[in-house]
Amino acid sequence: MTHRIGVIGGDGIGPEVLAEALKVLDATGVAYDRTDYDLGAHRYLADGTVLPDEVLEEWRGLDALLLGAVGDPAPGVAAPAGLVERGILLRMRFDLDQYINLRPFRLPPKADFEVIRENTEGTYAGEGGFLRKGTPNEIATQGSVNTRLGVERCVRFAFERAAATDRRHLTLVHKKNVLTFAGDLWQRTFDEVAEQYPQVSTGYDHIDAACIHFVERPERYDVIVTDNLFGDILTDLGGAVAGGVGYAASANLNPARTGPSMFEPVHGTAPDIAGQNKANPIAAIISLQLMLDFLGEADAAAAVAAACDNPERYTGSTTDIGDAVAAAVRSA
């Protein structure tokens, strides 16, 4: 089966790291058709394009999307703050219903856990607004949207993941001592779904405590489920404790498969090192591995995973590392 893959290199180091991921994809021998999309801050600055509706419609017919990074393309070159991040990344996640953001952190013995981040709701939903803007009595509100459906499908996905690990342990991370409405919905839903997974042991940590545990005793965790904003912050910390953000990969999944899922490294465009063949492509390559896994290419995914296990062994330039991983995959 030939997979139809959309490729968005984006800005800064995005295209460089994605080129190495595609090199590794070629090494697996998996058949695919590739369509490139020239999007990102550089495109916006050139002609005002963010994400045309017809492109989004075209994506619905694809099997997966691979994305490098979008945002500032070069030192000192800035698009309006957050415009392309919201207009491309968040629009993709929301409109293609990629409701799971799966971020694994595997660098034993430093880390061996994964975070399941809800990807379409919470404070990211854009609820809120200004009153009396620009006056001394100005008010800004920013709500957190938590639907039973959205929380339940995320929690259920997390239980399925935890049921498939060796340790079979799932931790809910929230701030239910203060966020009493959202926290209550999350914990009640978690407890109800837990009844259907008696083989999975469960726990709960407040987000602030989880930050300490990430640094001091990450072995406490196996699978973690959390809301959109907590997950955003916690996964940057996860990258930092698991060898650096250069190894942090992510899968934006539509598990119902009503649209393509999107795979991207957690890191940004790093404009300070763009174009210098310096960026570590491992995060993009592990994102490719997550894509292969989701597309049912288990053998190819296993070969990439084996080549990226112990990634600290790879040194050198972006292209050196891509070549070495591709060679390891070819000889697998």
**Catalytic status, residue 208:** yes
Question: How far apart are CB 71 and Mn ion at their closest, in Å?
Answer: 11
Q: Restricting to residues 200-259, which ones interact with ligand IPM according to CB under 6 A?
A: 232
Specify the residue for token string 């795979």.
263
Q: Which of 72, 227, 232, 293 is labelled catalytic? A: 232
Region of 83-91, 148-156, 177-185, 278-286 interacting with ligand IPM (CB under 6 A): 83-91
Residues in the chain: 332
Q: Which does 85 bind (CB under 5 to 8 A by kind): ligand IPM, Mn ion, none?
A: ligand IPM
Region of 35-43, 82-90, 188-196, 313-321 interacting with ligand IPM (CB under 6 A): 82-90
Is the separation of the CB atoms in 267 and 246 below 8 Å?
yes
The span from the CA of 40 to the CA of 54, in Å, is 16
Q: Which does 89 bind (CB under 5 to 8 A by kind): ligand IPM, Mn ion, none?
A: ligand IPM
Question: How far apart are CB 299 and ligand IPM at their closest, in Å?
Answer: 29
| Half-sphere CA count of 139, side-chain side, radius 13 A | 6
Question: How far apart are CB 118 and ligand IPM at their closest, in Å?
Answer: 11
Question: How far apart are CB 136 and ligand IPM at their closest, in Å?
Answer: 31
Provide DSSP, 47-99.
H--S--HHHHHHHTTSSEEEEEE-S--BTTB-PSTTHHIIIIIIHHHHHTT--
Q: Which of 208, 272, 299, 309 is labelled catalytic? A: 208
x-or-dash string of contact with ligand IPM, 255-294, rule CB under 6 A:
-----------x----------------------------
Residue nearest to ligand IPM (CB): 85
* Helix ranges (DSSP H) in the chain: 14-28, 41-47, 53-59, 83-84, 91-95, 148-163, 180-194, 207-216, 228-241, 282-294, 298-308, 318-330
**Catalytic status, residue 11:** no
**223: Cβ contacts below 8 Å, ≥ 6 apart:** 113, 114, 116, 158, 161, 162, 165, 169, 170, 171
The span from the CA of 201 to the CA of 163, in Å, is 9
Q: Which does 20 bind (CB under 5 to 8 A by kind): ligand IPM, Mn ion, none?
A: none
**Catalytic status, residue 124:** yes
> Of 73 and 297, which CB lies nearer to ligand IPM in the complex structure?
73
Q: Which of 32, 99, 124, 247 is labelled catalytic? A: 124
The span from the CA of 332 to the CA of 10, in Å, is 31
Dihedral Cα 322, 22, 307, 295, nearest 10 deg: 170
**Catalytic status, residue 99:** no
**261: Cβ contacts below 8 Å, ≥ 6 apart:** 64, 65, 96, 98, 251, 252, 253, 254, 291, 294
Q: Which does 56 bind (CB under 5 to 8 A by kind): ligand IPM, Mn ion, none?
A: none
User: Does 152 help bind ligand IPM (rule: CB under 6 A)?
Assistant: no
For Mn ion (CB under 5 A), the number of binding residues is 1
x-or-dash string of contact with ligand IPM, 39-78, rule CB under 6 A:
----------------------------------------
User: Does 232 help bind Mn ion (rule: CB under 5 A)?
Assistant: yes
**299: Cβ contacts below 8 Å, ≥ 6 apart:** none
User: Does 89 help bind ligand IPM (rule: CB under 6 A)?
Assistant: yes
Please state the φ and ψ torsions of residue 245, each to the nearest 5 degrees: -70, -15
Which residues contribute to the site for ligand IPM (CB under 6 A)? 85, 89-90, 232, 266
Positions annotated as catalytic residues are 124, 175, 208, 232, 236
